[in-house]
């Protein structure tokens, strides 16, 4: 399910480690030089991140990591609470194939947590909600959840001191179990509690950031070669 390229994964990893910050500029040539690849491959990685909602193009300025304000972060969770609760209310009982896909996704999250792969883990945990929308088959909900899942990761990078990954994985497993039992009311309660817990960890005091080309190079360069070679 996770298809980020090695360059894109390293950028996400560095965002999660607070080495690359929301609002940082990501130059195509700078990335190409850091990773020892063509500018075309660097651009493809940025386009992949743009499609996932992690970066944006600012006219005449270039590529930047999306930078949600604290209010944006709060509203992201508020929107998710309304959309995902309503999505589960209308779900009916998912088909067995959809349930198997959701269980497989939860298992993939668990493996990433065990492997201490922060980038894959965090994107998978956010992608669970996209996967849920896909399994319910509403293309408008899917588009909304792709955007909201990326904003959740970025909000966490700016305003959360730590991510309780195993707790989130357990929450996802419980939601899938409720859906499998046909208890959509329980699934809604579990989803609301899950989102409430995530929003409760937001802290506006954590948003301080120091930017600069040298810091960006230090953030990406040391592990980039290993990331590309091991892919």
Domain ranges, ordered by start, for the chain: 6-21+24-65+209-229, 70-205
59: left (phi over 0), alpha (psi -120 to 50) or beta: beta
pLDDT of residue 217: 58
Greatest distance between any 2 Cα atoms in the chain: 53
CA 106 – CA 170 distance, rounded (Å): 9
CATH of domain 70-205: 1.20.120.530
pLDDT of residue 13: 75
Top CATH class of 6-21+24-65+209-229 equals mainly alpha
Distance in Å from the first CA to the final CA of the chain: 16
pLDDT of residue 211: 43
Please report, to the nearest 10 degrees, the dihedral formed by the alpha carbons of residues 184, 190, 192, 194 taken in order.
-150
Spans in the chain with pLDDT lower than 70: 1-3, 16-18, 161-163, 207-231
CA 94 – CA 121 distance, rounded (Å): 25
4: left (phi over 0), alpha (psi -120 to 50) or beta: beta
The predicted model scores a pTM of: 0.73
| Cross-strand partners of 62 | 58
């Amino acid at each position: 399910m996770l298809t980020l390229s090695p360059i894109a994964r390293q950028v996400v990893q560095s965002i999660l480690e607070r080495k690359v910050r929301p609002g940082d500029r990501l130059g195509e040539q700078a990335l190409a030089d850091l990773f020892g690849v063509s500018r075309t491959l660097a651009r493809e990685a940025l386009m992949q991140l743009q499609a996932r909602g992690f970066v944006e193009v600012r006219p005449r300025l270039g590529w930047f990591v999306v930078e949600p304000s604290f209010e944006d972060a709060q509203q992201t969770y508020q929107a998710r609470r309304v959309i995902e609760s309503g999505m589960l209310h209308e779900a009916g009982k998912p088909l067995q194939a959809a349930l198997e896909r959701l269980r497989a996704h939860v298992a993939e999250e668990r493996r990433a947590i065990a492997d201490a792969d922060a980038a894959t883990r965090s994107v998978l945990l956010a992608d669970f909600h996209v996967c849920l929308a896909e399994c319910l088959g509403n293309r408008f909900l899917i588009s909304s959840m792709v955007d909201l899942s990326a904003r959740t990761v970025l909000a966490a990078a700016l305003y959360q001191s730590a991510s309780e990954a195993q707790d989130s994985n357990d929450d996802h497993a419980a939601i899938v179990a409720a859906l499998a039992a046909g208890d959509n009311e329980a699934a809604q309660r579990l989803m609301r509690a899950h989102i409430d817990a995530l929003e409760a960890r937001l802290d506006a005091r954590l948003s301080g950031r120091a930017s600069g080309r040298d810091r960006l190079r230090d953030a990406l360069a040391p592990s980039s070669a290993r990331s590309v070679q091991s892919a």
